[in-house]
Structure 1
């Protein structure tokens, strides 16, 4: 099938390129004109208690915590009367009027209104105050537009000695879009130039990836009309697409250039490359897609949206690598080595000599190689045992960010816990005892360790004739502190049940905790599904039961190492200043599941690339030792370049402001680096040397399984076409 597809692309090269150009331009235009808006809201999940409590508040007219921010005022001690100063009061009231005029649904609570309210508060020393700001919208874009208008009108606030700031994620400073992507692309181009030595060869993988990402990201934006996706989904799809797209094109282009160097004409070289590297790319792309699709087991918002984002990026660049790249190669032909960079090698040579020598050393001492790799990975894995899921707070942001300023002012005026209050929501039928029970509960909470203050019962509204009342509990510790989470569990598990009231808790801290627990509950199912599907795919790809088991174990070890690094940086604070993390805190709850799916799939890429070559040489020579040596040498340059590109692309995530994307990028970069070094250079050659012919064990009772292992041409390292793998093999997979 790949031969036919490649041949068709070569014969109709200009039509293929023209079709891709038309597709990219059309998709971008359609996305710009009719694209949907992202909706970022992990709190509104009715599978969790916090989500149900939030829904009750909304139904009762109490407002949604997801739509609320705070306007924070910090008054200098030199201002007489503090927040009650007449000039200050006039400016605050004027600000409220201007904000209210921006949009009918945008509301700023009256800071000076009398009566009990959860929407305003003034510190005991009258120097810090806040009022709730409600910014309702149906999408992130609408909300961002309103936020910018509010920020603009806030510049007119002119009260001497008063600092105005905003608390709420929507008001956080955000780096200009495209900075991270541009840095990743720039680094990738440098690596491609070093790998190929010519501008033309280096530009083809980048061009292929950009075409694929342009289509994939645009389709994702259009699908946002019918599927809710968070604001970082498009960035994730783009960065993932760029990384794997360049890698896939890099592998095919390397085999094409090798075939040209061996004397093949251009069409033959393209067919050879597609028959070998192209088949490996198909299985690699399928493995990544299956791993990402494992996110569907998470359900809710995160499952389908992250699956859609990941698959949109990967599948689009996969199709581009299999259709657009052959067409471009047919057009470029032998000019692929034009525009050489002085001082760099422009044609394939003996670049695998060093890798070959290294492989021989490792294979002479395979048990030492395995032990060394396990020690390295084991040390990196240790911090992962301290993994704590949650969501970071504004205290992690730069000190110049308005949300960080508000965070610090609120902590100074009301205590650290004021940045993440807990809301206890009760939907109560008409019963005269309920008032006494609520008062008793409030009194008990007020004497509980870790509680700074408890509000009196506050009426929110009614639902189905039942009164909705809530208590606001302010912890003594900040939202992302472990002590706050312990308090949540104590209130929920011990205090609330004894009250005899139907109370559910919500709030930022509670929502993060519930989301993390739900994620962990579904993680075993996700892992089982991904591992099972990956095993089946690799078993079919290599017609071996040993190779997929070995690959899965190795990939889990490299994943564990990446989790360890994330914990060391984000929770322990090792080197956090280098990537712009303000302070230690929990690992973002969505990161581990997305990281597992993506990194596991990407790690399988390198397994497929390397073992494919080893399998080719084994079928040709029948020697399990030399096949490993030659396979490692043949793939060393391309896999090293591919891994370096992946590391750079994913490491560029640290330039995003979002703490979760920083952790995601760091974890992916570490996983790829570890897999391309410790795993590929130590574990793979060592274990394959120890196992020998047993690597290709395929029991006779499975011979009925249809062959799909034609991905490995048995030609030489230049990519000459040869018989398909498995042809003439016995049940153990060895050549006759």
Structure 2
């Protein structure tokens, strides 16, 4: 006599104490090994390593062990003149002291360059000392930070005051600011989130569960980033992203799982059966949701920017850990808690059993929309498109000192350089010329090349192995660091601009320098302006592939989940539509500078080159997250009733409160990072993600989704016969008929056939 084997319950149900113990041990180990991950991360990562500018930087670093000065000391004379003998003597002494240090590969100043005019302010009361530290980017940033501490509020024998700036010093301060902002954001976000969770769940115990899963996901991701940083560069800005996304997704997934568990308890099931049924329904939804979010983040790996790749590493890790926490660790905790999940109750929210008909506010909203789908969908679409219009005027740039808040030391120095000096000493272009002997047979050719470059519009000075040139005239002084600018078979020139380097004028200067006939083939042009031009081109070149990858992976995952051709297409189109409002708002606010005083940032007329694609990818992934939540419940109702209208209304009613709560909670997390963030592009990230989540939850899910599903009717779940057969064989079922199976903790082994 054959029997149907009972359904084996998940390991979390059969061994809850083991799972809980392993999770606790994992949390402790990850905290111990990954707690200092910020020390292993790097700043920057906004340039394309495959570009000409990156190749130039590599040659300069490897062949010449140097590069353009990236630390600037601003010396302000006490008596008003940097040409006073005592000030000049102090300036020379400071320059010589720095040049004698082993970690300094280049040090020069106004006084050691024959009083070169670009190194003196227009009023004559300030002058510059320029230097570059040895080592890679992280080492230079660390040394710039140490120099800032050493020279903080220091004067030179009472005759002058010294402050530290330059891009290495700027990003050293950015790193410190990011770390302090992260702590402040957590202090703000966690209590607010806990309060909202208590209100939503009505129980203190239930409210603590999402935070526990969030903590596990975040700390685990810190360890993952520590390991990845041992193999490749990982941006320090990924830390804020890890905390925000880890907490947000943990809240989303835990809300869904705990809510379903409480529904199963309300249906009369015992805790172990309720958890098993929860894992087989809400747990599957969480897995598919995690796949859609992770698949979007994979597209960031297409780009060569370390900044974007770091967000992919962090995002994929935190999504995976949030999913494991929600479908493995959380069920084990629920088994251990049993009915005590509702302990410490502050209010009793209404919980309905699965399959029970309800007609609450979300049901009424869905029915209202489906009675007038065309006008409501038309109005919503037009509003979103109108809000997205400003994005047509987007300008892309690199972060500079203005990403720091007003009053930051290095920003104040940079502002003085910008307004009181005719050149941009910290942003020189590096022009690498191979196969030449600059100090021998090719000296005349290099001199002519440097002379011509110095006459270009936007050039303040050119420093070469054969001397310094201003306006086509060689300065009557030998460069102290001339020996570092050439080898026997190569040389490089430093082209100091007098235009804002991170601007259209800076990009034009790069084009002009590259257009000048060089004395050899294979010339490479690098530096901040060149990195900006090359990075924008690299972004444009790889964007189609990234978008195609997102679309294809999303389509495949949703088709395998729901067996529908129309549903993935509809989801992709609606998510793209919802993102138009977010991207348009970011240009209108952060590029054009509206509300900058209220929000505490300085608009530069451009968005950081990597931020639009980062916002797009992450917001798209989170939109798909909510899409899966809603569609899986609609599909469950469709499978149960076959009613195309009622299934949409019931699905929205079942998920409306959860999706709205999840959106509000994750918005609180992101807006906390936006409010507390002092670095402007991280502030943009926080506010941008907040807007994206709220627009998706309150506009797209409540109007466009029910409207389009009403218009499609039964075609929502249609697929051609070949694809239907493929799904039946290889697809995943979002809804299972749990009542067909008996669920036991340890099902008996089936007897072996005697003939075997």
**TM score, norm. by length of structure 1:** 0.88
Match of 2:748 in 1: none
SS at match of 2:155: coil
Question: SS state of the match for residue 164, structure 1?
Answer: strand
Distance 1:30 1:451, change over 3 A: closer
Shift of 1:262: 2.2
1:39 aligns with one of 42, 52, 61 = 42
CA distance in 2, matches of 1:56, 1:395: 29
Residue 582 of structure 1 aligns to a residue in which SS? Answer: coil
Looking at structure 2, the residues matched to 678 and 554 of structure 1 have their Cα atoms a distance apart, in angstroms, of 10
Distance 2:502 2:408 in 1: 18
Find the aligned partners of 1:429 and 1:42 in 2 and give their Cα distance.
Answer: 32
Matches within 5 A, 1:339-488: 339-341=344-346, 344-348=347-351, 353-415=360-422, 417-418=424-425, 420-430=427-437, 445=453, 448-451=456-459, 458=467, 459=482, 461=484, 465-476=488-499, 478-488=500-510
CA contact (8 A) 1:713 1:722 kept: no
Aligned residues: 708
Partner of 2:523: 503
Question: Match of 1:729?
Answer: none
Cα deviation digits, residues 563-605 of structure 1 (max 9, x gap): 2121112211122233321223321122233323222211111
Q: Deviations over 1:96-154 (max 9, x none)?
A: 577678x7314672436645799993346532222223334457488437613542343
Query: CA, structure 1 residues 152+440, in 2 after alignment: closer, same or farther (shift >3 Å)?
Result: closer
From 700, 712, 718, the equivalent of 1:679 is 700
Q: Which residue of 2 aligns with 1:293?
A: 298
On the 8 A contact 1:366/1:689 being kept in 2, the answer is yes
Q: What corresponds to 2:244 in structure 1?
A: 239
Of 236-245 and 483-492, the range deviating more from structure 2: 483-492
Do 2:154 and 2:161's aligned partners in 1 also have CA atoms closer than 8 Å?
no
- The farther-off stretch of 166-175 and 566-575 is 166-175
For residues 530 and 43 of structure 1, the distance between their equivalents in structure 2, rounded to whole angstroms, comes to 22
The correspondence of residues 207-218 of structure 1 with structure 2, limited to 5 A, is 207-218=212-223
Aligned pairs for 1:81-480 within 5 A: 82-89=81-88, 91-92=90-91, 104-106=102-104, 109-111=107-109, 114-115=112-113, 121-123=119-121, 125-137=123-135, 140=138, 143-144=141-142, 147-148=145-146, 150-157=148-155, 159=158, 162=161, 164-168=163-167, 169-172=170-173, 174-175=176-177, 176=180, 177-299=182-304, 301-302=306-307, 304-341=309-346, 344-348=347-351, 353-415=360-422, 417-418=424-425, 420-430=427-437, 445=453, 448-451=456-459, 458=467, 459=482, 461=484, 465-476=488-499, 478-480=500-502
Residue number in structure 2 paired with 1:636: 656
In structure 2, distance between residues paired with 1:110 and 1:473? 14
**Preserved contact between residue 436 and residue 520 of structure 2 (Cα < 8 Å):** no
Q: State the secondary structure of the residue aligned to 2:82.
A: helix
Q: Give the superposition deviation at 1:389.
A: 1.8
> C-alpha displacement at 1:664, in angstroms?
2.3
Range that drifts further, 480-489 or 423-432: 423-432
Shift, 1:290, TM fit: 1.4
Once residues 134 and 351 of structure 1 are traced to their aligned partners in structure 2, the CA distance between those partners, rounded to angstroms, is: 69
Comparing 692-701 with 344-353, greater Cα deviation is found at 344-353
Q: Indicate the residue corresponding to 1:727 in structure 2.
A: none
1:617–1:627 Cα contact (<8 Å) kept: yes
How far apart in 2 are the matches of 1:141 and 1:184?
33
Residue aligned with 2:76, SS = strand
- Where does the alignment leave 5 or more consecutive residues of structure 2 unmatched? 1-5, 468-481, 743-756
Judge conservation of contact 1:387–1:567 (CA < 8 Å) in 2: yes
CA distance in 1, matches of 2:372, 2:110: 77
Q: Provide the rounded CA distance (Å) in 2 between the counterparts of 1:433 and 1:56.
A: 22
1:713 alignment counterpart: 735
Q: Deviation of residue 512 (structure 1)?
A: 2.2
Describe the SS at the equivalent of 1:263. coil
Query: Separation in 1 of the partners of 2:557 and 2:66?
Result: 49
Structure 1: tracts of 5 or more residues without a match: 725-736
Measured at CA, do residues 434 and 512 of structure 1 come closer, stay the same or move farther in structure 2, by a change above 3 Å? same
Map 1:20-31 to 2 at 5 A: 20-31=23-34
Find the counterpart in structure 1 of residue 561 from structure 2.
541
**1:385: how far off?**
1.1
1:627 Cα offset (Å): 0.9
Query: CA RMSD, aligned part only?
Result: 3.2
- Provide the C-alpha distance between the structure 1 equivalents of 2:29 and 2:502, rounded to a whole number of angstroms: 44
1:192: how far off? 1.2
Question: Within 5 Å, which residues of 2 pair with 1:563-602?
Answer: 563-602=583-622
Change (3 A) 1:193 1:674: same
